[in-house]
Chain A
Amino acid sequence: MIKPRMVLCSGVTVPDDDSLQVGRQVIELDSLGINPNVHIHWKMWRGFS
């Protein structure tokens, strides 16, 4: 099994020695900050009218 992941979202941080983070590879995802790496963009269109 690959290494468990800790996914930190929207700029949250946890202490490096946080017991829940130990042994996990950290992924930082952010859709809110000034440099987002998750872009939520909604496009709408009408279908089957």
Chain B
Amino acid sequence: MKHLSPRLVDLLEIAAYVFTADCATQRGTEWTDDDTSEPWSRNFRFVIPVRDHNFWCASDVQQLLVQVLKFLSDDDYTFEFQQLEKDRSVQDYLEFGSDENWPFQGVDRVIMFSAGWTPWLGLWKLRMAARILCWLATGQ
């Protein structure tokens, strides 16, 4: 495996933007409807330039993206993807060398890893299945 494809770089950036917006936006605190409804959900509209514009603009892709985020957060999301005009100076994401001495040669699985206890459960489950794991860690 060498560099990530443009589509996957898009996905990583979309995830980073959604994660950041989520962290930056607190949920409502005042109950509504005569104190019968908790104002839990939020409404986000994202405008994001992407490299693989045709893919991200496909209705089924956007539908799945919104469904996953709705399931995870109970928030409402809409996305508008634009064609990215000028890309970043390339950071070689996740470059795995072919040399056997390269520390990330022959990685079996790549998993997300964030703060909290739930990722540890996944690691515990995967520990016997994969010989070499690579963690993608997030931090604030």
Contact = CB atoms under 8 A, between A and B. Distances in A.
A9 B44 CA distance: 12
Contacts of A38: 16-17, 20
| Majority SS at the chain A contact face | loop
Interface residues of B, number: 44
A48 B130 contact: yes
Nearest to A5: B44
Interface residues of A, number: 28
Interface stretch (B26-34, B52-60, B63-71): B26-34
B13 A40 contact: yes
B135 to A, nearest CB: 6
Interface of A: 1-2, 4-12, 14, 20, 24, 27, 29, 31-32, 38, 40, 42-49
